[in-house]
Structure 1
């Protein structure tokens, strides 16, 4: 028995006529008749009762057609799996990320992805949170690293990134084991403007504090240089801190605060198989960073 014979059998069972079945599957009436005759001979039974109006399934024919339909469903499933596998061989994944996530998370993740899918190409778009949201909504990127929560996107949490106070090594507060938000609000403050400023305003606001913001700076290296010079104090995510620090002290916050970093897509159900695989591997690989 072949898949072709099964397809012809089901076509005849559906329309009850050899000629119309042949028209549906691109086969002549004699070709359909020959195929069904060969199948009946192979099985040693009659599948149809012939009459002048067409054909009708026998009792055993009905049972066989039910099984034949199940075979075709599984055949389609096999084809779908194979098709998705082919799609995973070559793909381009467009990634939106912000600077601190790029260096500490995205670069090692890309290396991991390349080892798993060597034929994949990755393209990186680096920007602010707002730019990444826009890139996702306009389909410039397939996935985006963002600080959560994010409305209107399907999001997958990856790591919790603690916020840290940073002061000059010569600052009177440098010897403190931890710093309160009240202490920070009373000092000249350098506000980081790469995205976490919203979280900082929220934390100060919860306590009805009004920080003495003297500078608003985007670049992390500039923020640390200003803190080192004693121009002001600041609060930054731990992920932004370089392995080798300038003459500054990194101090715990009291109470501690974290930003949650995750991966966002427009809708996972609408993602291509490669993008779905990328999200899965990112969640698996970056779980070790928690």
Structure 2
């Protein structure tokens, strides 16, 4: 019995038709029939019941196909381990990311890995924190950039992104070197709603403060325009700030507060060798990236 025979067997079991299974795996109908016939002869049993509409598994065939799937999965895992040990990632990694991480973290990482591992392919899915979590849970993506900790997912911290207060250039606080949450709580507040609002509520609550939230806004450019117009003050992650600011002043918080950005997976124990290798490469890259 060969791996090729098992691949053909599983393909026919999945599709229920010799011709369509052959099209799926690049084999002629006669080639599929010959392969299955040889396997049945070797085993001494019938694996399929043939009829006019297609084929169905016999009781013994169902058990054998179940074992064949396990063997093929282990075969794939062995190939991944060999690929990993050779220093090449022969696989496709599906990555989830939120906008500020995409520009500042994901794209530099993809460029770096592309030069080191030319056989590695990446696909990018950009969304919100809840979408990334759902994509991980349902298997749409293999790994996601996310704020940590995130309940229900295993994570690995890559960097700390400081939160920054932003006020109008004409605001009295613009003259300050640093600002506190106590000072911000006395001002009309624009709450960013792209994900860091939970951290901000936590920081205000920790100090027993209640911010004067006047607006809740998702889009970062809109938030900055509102601050520039003197409508209120805000606090945003530093990575979300554009290189050139409008007529606003970005001020450090005292004491500093950070959002922890990292990579999340459904379970580190269930990761394939290629995903684990990707995580190690990302950790290595960001250990040097953040120290530059």
Q: TM-score, normalised by structure 1?
A: 0.69
What do the CA deviations read for 1:66-96 (whole angstroms, capped 9, x no partner)? xxxxxxxxxxxx9885365589553111111
> After the TM superposition, which parts of structure 1 deviate over 6 Å for at least 4 consecutive aligned residues?
none
1:1-290 → structure 2 map (5 Å cutoff): 81-82=81-82, 88-288=88-288, 289=290
| Contact persistence 2:194–2:219 (CA under 8 A) | yes
Change (3 A) 1:84 1:179: closer
Q: Secondary structure at the match of 1:250?
A: strand
- CA drift of 1:170 comes to 1.0
Change (3 A) 1:132 1:213: same
Q: 2:54 — aligned with what? A: none
- CA drift of 1:211 comes to 0.8
2:132 and 2:81 map into 1 onto residues whose CA distance is 32
| Contact persistence 2:81–2:273 (CA under 8 A) | no
Change (3 A) 1:185 1:80: closer
- CA drift of 1:181 comes to 0.7
What are the ranges of 5 or more consecutive residues in structure 2 without an aligned counterpart?
A: 1-41, 43-77
Decide which moves more: 229-238 or 146-155: 146-155
What are the ranges of 5 or more consecutive residues in structure 1 without an aligned counterpart?
A: 1-25, 27-77
Change (3 A) 1:80 1:246: closer
Q: 1:18 — aligned with what? A: none
Q: Secondary structure at the match of 1:201?
A: helix
| Contact persistence 1:187–1:212 (CA under 8 A) | yes
1:115 and 1:193 map into 2 onto residues whose CA distance is 36
What do the CA deviations read for 1:22-49 (whole angstroms, capped 9, x no partner)? xxxx9xxxxxxxxxxxxxxxxxxxxxxx
- CA drift of 1:119 comes to 2.1
Q: TM-score, normalised by structure 2?
A: 0.69
2:80 and 2:93 map into 1 onto residues whose CA distance is 21
